[in-house]
Amino acid sequence: KNQVEQSPQSLIILEGKNCTLQCNYTVSPFSNLRWYKQDTGRGPVSLTIMTFSENTKSNGRYTATLDADTKQSSLHITASQLSDSASYICVVSEKYGNKLVFGAGTILRVKS
Protein backbone atom coordinates (compact mmCIF):
# COMPACT_ATOMS: atom_id res chain seq x y z
CA LYS A 1 0.00 0.00 0.00
CA ASN A 2 1.32 3.42 -0.93
CA GLN A 3 2.06 5.46 2.16
CA VAL A 4 3.49 8.78 3.21
CA GLU A 5 5.01 9.06 6.69
CA GLN A 6 5.94 12.41 8.23
CA SER A 7 8.13 13.17 11.20
CA PRO A 8 8.09 14.54 13.76
CA GLN A 9 4.36 14.57 14.54
CA SER A 10 4.81 17.91 16.27
CA LEU A 11 7.59 20.37 16.91
CA ILE A 12 8.07 23.49 19.01
CA ILE A 13 10.84 25.94 18.16
CA LEU A 14 11.84 29.45 19.14
CA GLU A 15 11.24 32.31 16.76
CA GLY A 16 14.26 32.90 14.55
CA LYS A 17 15.47 29.30 14.66
CA ASN A 18 15.62 26.92 11.71
CA CYS A 19 13.89 23.57 11.50
CA THR A 20 13.57 20.61 9.17
CA LEU A 21 10.52 18.44 8.63
CA GLN A 22 10.80 14.96 7.15
CA CYS A 23 8.69 13.00 4.70
CA ASN A 24 9.26 9.35 3.73
CA TYR A 25 7.11 7.70 1.12
CA THR A 26 6.58 4.34 -0.52
CA VAL A 27 4.56 5.60 -3.50
CA SER A 28 6.07 4.17 -6.66
CA PRO A 29 6.17 5.19 -9.38
CA PHE A 30 5.39 8.76 -8.44
CA SER A 31 4.77 11.87 -10.46
CA ASN A 32 5.47 14.69 -8.03
CA LEU A 33 5.79 15.57 -4.38
CA ARG A 34 4.20 18.60 -2.79
CA TRP A 35 4.41 20.37 0.52
CA TYR A 36 1.37 22.20 1.81
CA LYS A 37 0.97 24.58 4.74
CA GLN A 38 -2.29 24.44 6.65
CA ASP A 39 -3.03 27.20 9.13
CA THR A 40 -5.40 26.33 11.96
CA GLY A 41 -8.98 26.47 10.72
CA ARG A 42 -7.98 27.01 7.10
CA GLY A 43 -7.52 24.92 3.98
CA PRO A 44 -4.06 23.69 2.88
CA VAL A 45 -2.05 26.06 0.70
CA SER A 46 0.66 24.85 -1.68
CA LEU A 47 4.27 25.71 -0.77
CA THR A 48 6.30 23.72 -3.27
CA ILE A 49 5.88 21.03 -5.88
CA MET A 50 8.75 18.90 -7.20
CA THR A 51 8.91 16.28 -9.93
CA PHE A 52 11.03 13.15 -9.50
CA SER A 53 13.91 14.79 -11.40
CA GLU A 54 14.15 17.82 -9.12
CA ASN A 55 16.35 17.80 -6.01
CA THR A 56 15.47 21.09 -4.41
CA LYS A 57 12.97 23.90 -4.67
CA SER A 58 12.66 27.08 -2.66
CA ASN A 59 9.79 29.37 -1.83
CA GLY A 60 11.07 32.25 0.27
CA ARG A 61 12.23 30.88 3.62
CA TYR A 62 10.96 27.41 2.72
CA THR A 63 13.28 24.98 0.94
CA ALA A 64 12.16 21.49 -0.04
CA THR A 65 14.55 18.72 -1.00
CA LEU A 66 13.84 15.41 -2.67
CA ASP A 67 15.86 12.22 -2.88
CA ALA A 68 13.95 9.93 -5.23
CA ASP A 69 16.40 7.07 -4.66
CA THR A 70 15.78 6.87 -0.93
CA LYS A 71 12.18 8.12 -1.27
CA GLN A 72 12.72 10.94 1.19
CA SER A 73 11.86 14.61 1.18
CA SER A 74 12.47 17.36 3.68
CA LEU A 75 11.13 20.84 4.21
CA HIS A 76 13.58 23.29 5.75
CA ILE A 77 12.30 26.49 7.28
CA THR A 78 14.84 29.24 7.80
CA ALA A 79 14.62 32.00 10.39
CA SER A 80 11.22 30.91 11.62
CA GLN A 81 8.47 33.40 12.32
CA LEU A 82 5.39 33.17 14.52
CA SER A 83 3.30 33.00 11.34
CA ASP A 84 5.02 29.73 10.42
CA SER A 85 3.00 28.01 13.15
CA ALA A 86 0.85 25.58 11.16
CA SER A 87 0.54 22.00 10.03
CA TYR A 88 2.82 21.01 7.15
CA ILE A 89 1.56 18.26 4.91
CA CYS A 90 3.58 16.16 2.47
CA VAL A 91 1.61 14.87 -0.51
CA VAL A 92 2.85 12.40 -3.13
CA SER A 93 1.11 12.00 -6.47
CA GLU A 94 0.99 8.56 -8.07
CA LYS A 95 2.37 8.60 -11.61
CA TYR A 96 -0.66 6.91 -13.15
CA GLY A 97 -4.08 8.19 -12.34
CA ASN A 98 -5.00 11.18 -10.25
CA LYS A 99 -4.48 9.72 -6.81
CA LEU A 100 -2.73 11.78 -4.17
CA VAL A 101 -1.37 10.16 -1.02
CA PHE A 102 -1.35 12.50 1.97
CA GLY A 103 0.86 12.36 5.01
CA ALA A 104 -0.73 13.03 8.40
CA GLY A 105 1.23 16.25 8.73
CA THR A 106 3.70 17.80 11.16
CA ILE A 107 2.34 20.41 13.54
CA LEU A 108 4.85 23.21 13.99
CA ARG A 109 4.57 25.77 16.73
CA VAL A 110 6.89 28.76 16.73
CA LYS A 111 7.01 30.61 20.02
CA SER A 112 8.56 33.92 20.99
Partner 1 sequence: DAGITQSPRYKITETGRQVTLMCHQTWSHSYMFWYRQDLGHGLRLIYYSAAADITDKGEVPDGYVVSRSKTENFPLTLESATRSQTSVYFCASRGRNSGNTIYFGEGSWLTVV
Task: Name the site residues for partner 1 (rule: CB under 8 A).
Answer: 4, 31-32, 34, 41-46, 49, 89, 93, 98-105
| Other residues' Cβ atoms within 10 Å of the Cβ of residue 5 | 12
Do residues 73 and 64 lie in contact, with contact meaning Cβ atoms separated by under 8 Å?
A: yes
Q: How far is the CB of 85 from partner 1 (least distance, A)?
A: 18
Shorter beta-carbon distance to partner 1: residue 23 or 77: 23
Shorter beta-carbon distance to partner 1: residue 15 or 100: 100
**What is the helix (H) or strand (E) element at residue 75, kind and residue range?**
strand 72-77
Distance CA 96, CA 94 (A): 6
Q: How far is the CB of 108 from partner 1 (least distance, A)?
A: 16
